[in-house]
Amino acid sequence: MEVWDTIIIGAGAAGLSAAQYAARANLKVLVLEEMAHGGQALLIDRLENYPGLLEPVDGYTWADAMRTQAERFGAVIQSTSVEHVIKDGDRFLVKTTDGELVAKTVIVATGAKHRHIGVPGEETFSGRGVSYCATCDGPFFKNKHVVVVGGGDSACDEAMFLSKLASSVTMVHRRDRFRAQKALADRVLHNEKITVIWNSVVKEIKGTKSVEHVVLENVQTHEVSELACSAVFVFIGSDPQTAFLPDSVEKDETGSILTNLRMETNIPGLYAAGDVRATPFRQVVTAAGDGAIAAHCAAQYIDELEGKAYR
């Protein structure tokens, strides 16, 4: 059976960066992705904080360039879904919906999936006004009033994007200030098309065929009000994607994989990179950095395993 030096699970910023570095280190690299390559970066309207990018690019263009670059160095990218990963002696068995694969190392770069608010109407109107992707669904709400839920970087970024399409944007945040980086928060606060309702949460999403209102509750006064809108964009964080890993992989209280500075998990040969791991700052640049470190250390691990380490 074919043995890959490294199987990278996930083709976002971390996975594609790991693929490029691993392939350049002459490893035999397979990248597995169940959705489109690019991960959360695909949702970025204007990637403007990646070092050296003088002109902002959209997430799709950037992800496509990363993929092409990794492939040019020899990485193979395959579309499949990973069901589980098991360590068997010195090898990893990666069970996918298309069969079993074998690798000497595995780099987990599966990122995180958006969270739901969990209120009545959210599931009912999903795809009919409730959305988790402004780039994908924003154009359907041109010149309409839309609501954005959340107060982090994603909510602020997406509110800015939506303000270019919608007639107006109302952000609903459960606290009295944003969690987002100051530069981004300031931009939102100075945007004339964005209004913020502080200290409030969405209790219900209402409508007939599609979204027509949200019911809001002020968390301090408990006052309840209704706000007419055509869409609700939810950006309240995300959960790391680790269901295919054995329970023995150590995680923190949020379910993010714990690694050391070499991106190694507690299982030798198993690495984690990007948003799926416990990290203080989740950015495209940090994910790409994680991927590079994971690939470099995986190559060293293989050398150790095979008695070829440079001493």
Instruction: Tell me the two tokens of residue 64.
Output: 């496509």
Catalytic residue among 90, 98, 136, 176: 136
Catalytic residue list contains 229: no
Tokens 């083709």, residue?
Answer: 11
- Cα distances from 25 to residues 6, 20, 117, 292, 298, in angstroms, run 11, 9, 43, 11, 10
Q: Contact 290/273 with Cβ under 8 angstroms?
A: yes
Smallest distance from the beta carbon of 150 to ligand NAP, in angstroms?
A: 4
Give the one residue of 41, 201, 270, 287 binding ligand NAP; rule: CB under 6 A: 201
Give the one residue of 91, 174, 206, 213 binding ligand NAP; rule: CB under 6 A: 174
Residue 154 contacts ligand NAP per CB under 6 A? yes
Choices 19-27, 143-151, 224-232, 251-259 (CB under 6 A): range interacting with ligand NAP = 143-151
Catalytic residue among 64, 137, 153, 239: 137
Specify the DSSP element, H or E, that contains 215: strand 211-218
Residues contacting ligand NAP: total by CB under 6 A: 20
Q: Of the two residues 75 and 287, which places its CB atom closer to ligand NAP in the complex? A: 287
Residue 288 contacts ligand NAP per CB under 6 A? no
Residue 153 contacts ligand NAP per CB under 6 A? yes
Closest C-alpha to 32, from 105, 104, 94: 94
Give the one residue of 95, 212, 237, 296 binding ligand NAP; rule: CB under 6 A: 237
Give the one residue of 10, 38, 129, 150 binding ligand NAP; rule: CB under 6 A: 150
Instruction: Tell me the two tokens of residue 48.
Output: 């403007």
Smallest distance from the beta carbon of 244 to ligand NAP, in angstroms?
A: 22
Closest C-alpha to 212, from 159, 164, 156, 144: 144
Catalytic residue list contains 156: no
Residue 238 contacts ligand NAP per CB under 6 A? yes
Tokens 């209280």, residue?
Answer: 253
Long-range contacts, stretch 46-50, CB < 8 angstroms, 24+ apart:
46/161, 47/284, 49/283, 49/284, 49/285, 50/284, 50/285
Residue 59 contacts ligand NAP per CB under 6 A? no
Catalytic residue list contains 133: yes
Binding region for ligand NAP (CB under 6 A) = 49, 117, 149-155, 157, 174-175, 179, 201, 235-238, 282-283
Active site residues: 133, 136-137
